[in-house]
Amino acid sequence: MTDPEVDKELMRKAVALLARRGFSRGDLGCRLARKANPEEIQAVLDRLEQLNLLNDADYAYNSAGRWIKQEGWGPVRVIHRLMQHKIPGPIAEAAIDRIRQEISDAGALASYLDRRCQTYRLPESRKGIHKLFQSLLRRGFPSEVIWNELRRRIPPSAWQDFETGE
């Protein structure tokens, strides 16, 4: 194939991928890596950005919003996930900051716990509180936000048992 044919085929493949779902520039570049050399791929990615079909900032914001609001993930986990999708750190941080203007970490945690409590009861034992705390840490919420929200929701008698270790 000649270079114009390769570029045309790469553009067709990239647009077909983008028609199915959003991609970051890095992810799309990796998907196209088998088809051409890096210079040709970069040229296609640059053209897609010019056409506003590829935008890492929008991708990061939309993904972060979905993961925080619908999946119940905390900001730490979302940033790590964005970086796995090859979003540069400053863009990932900016997306999280935009989401935090809409919903605070405490609000996101409260929303997740409201949905969780429809299925599971809040723990009343020391072990249960510890397990829930660890689970929320793995979801990416800051520890102080978790403690504040759990203190607000869990009865004082359960906290007394937790703090005394009985």
Output the domain CATH number for residue 21. Answer: 1.10.10
Do residues 111 and 151 both lie within one domain? Answer: yes
Q: How confident is the model at residue 125 (pLDDT cuts 50, 70, 90)?
A: confident
Helix (H, G, I), strand (E, B) or coil at 36: coil
**C-alpha to C-alpha distance for 166 and 161, rounded to whole angstroms:** 5
Note down the domain range covering 46.
3-50
pLDDT at 2: 46
| Model confidence, pTM | 0.85
Q: Chain-wide mean pLDDT for the chain?
A: 91
**C-alpha to C-alpha distance for 103 and 50, rounded to whole angstroms:** 31
Helix and strand totals (H; E) in the chain: 10, 0
Domain count, the chain: 3
Do residues 142 and 112 both lie within one domain? Answer: yes
Do residues 74 and 110 both lie within one domain? Answer: no
Tokens for 108?
Answer: 């996101």
Do residues 90 and 112 both lie within one domain? Answer: no
pLDDT at 16: 94
The pLDDT > 70 percentage for the chain reads 95
How many other CB atoms sit within 10 Å of the CB of residue 88?
A: 16
- Mind listing the pLDDT tens digit for each residue in 11-51? 999 999 999 999 999 999 999 998 888 899 999 999 999 99
Average pLDDT over residues 72-95: 96
> Residue 82's closest CA among 97, 95, 69?
95
Do residues 122 and 140 both lie within one domain? Answer: yes
Do residues 93 and 111 both lie within one domain? Answer: no
| Of 88-97, 129-138, 148-157, minimum mean pLDDT range | 148-157
Do residues 109 and 92 both lie within one domain? Answer: no
Do residues 67 and 117 both lie within one domain? Answer: no
> Residue 103's closest CA among 141, 51, 131?
141
Tokens for 51?
Answer: 């056409």
Contact status, residue 77 vs residue 139, Cβ threshold 8 Å:
yes
**C-alpha to C-alpha distance for 93 and 41, rounded to whole angstroms:** 26
